[in-house]
Structure 1
Amino acid sequence: MGVVQLQVCSRAFRLYCAFSLFAAMALPSLAQDPAYVKKLAPFVGSPAKVVDSMLTLANIKPGETVFDLGSGDGRILIAAVKNYKAKAVGIEISPKLAAQTNQRIQKEGIASDARVIEGDLLTADLTGADVVTIYLDTPLNARLRPRLEKFLKPGARVVSHDYAVTGWKPTKVQEIDNKHLIYLYEMPPVKN
């Protein structure tokens, strides 16, 4: 019984290793597949209270540019423009969400200050961002980290809802209603 169980475990382990190797080799091309990225970070909107806290914690000044990576329905973009007099750019991989949000921005009358670009947040041009907001999981934050370090200027802020950016020490962490965490990072980030 023990030998058979060992053989089954050994076969399962071999299959696991083979799958892991395949996944590691395929990952760079999968990162370009919209369905894959969408699967990694499906749209889940931040509650209004969290959105307000994220933008307040970022200390946005009028005229600054806020990028929301994985902008979903645009709630962060709209709040940044209306409540903080910021410029706002969303990066959204879903063509449907990007189009719907751009229509909503038009209806809100803020198209001169906000827009959504249909694209991959892992390859987006972040030049000009003063604040970047993210609600992504920790592995996706880790994949995004080198891009943030490369493109964000000193003094820019990154605000993450619920998931830390591994390798960075937050400037502040705020808890909302014992349910949500907001991490603030200032560029260049303090490494841990």
Structure 2
Amino acid sequence: MKRLVLIIAMIAIVSCKSSDKQKENVAEATDTKEQTMQKQDIYQFKVEDLYGEPFDFASLKGKKIMVVNTASECGLTPQYENLQELYDTYKNNNFVIVGFPANNFGGQEPGSNEEIASFCKENYGVTFPMMTKISVKGEDMHPIYQFLTQKSKNGLKDSEVQWNFQKYLIDEEGHLVEVIEPKTLPIDEKITDWIKG
């Protein structure tokens, strides 16, 4: 009988040690995963604007940033007017909008960079920074959109660009804080409250 009790006690001790070891392994794996998922910031990116000039996101440190993918022949194209209104209202309050024309949805941005620049200026008086045309989804997705849409890079969430005029809000430290769906107007209270907050 004593022998049976001793055997049971030894099994319990071995099983506890094994359980502790498993917990250690899980903790180590979690630490490793967290290290690989360290939150990046947007300041690492350098792109070109519509006129072929270099644009360094590091120059926007300390500002709130809205990144938006745009198109000239979309039902949401009139949002350019709201974007410009928002920019005019808050550009002196450490806020900037950065537009990325993209032709990923229904071929609604077929123009060249020159044509897009002309369209934006003539039709909507756009003065906020507009970058060269890129891809915001698929195999040729631009690295900046990989950052915006992948939690492993942005530390916030995975998302997919649903359509033209999806908005990504970046805080003063260059971190993604919110994804706003395309149909939400740029002058929506949710956005203006965030800028003022």
TM score, norm. by length of structure 1: 0.34
Q: Which structure is higher in strand share?
A: 1
**What's the TM-score once normalised by structure 2's chain length?**
0.34
Structure whose alpha-carbon radius of gyration is higher:
2
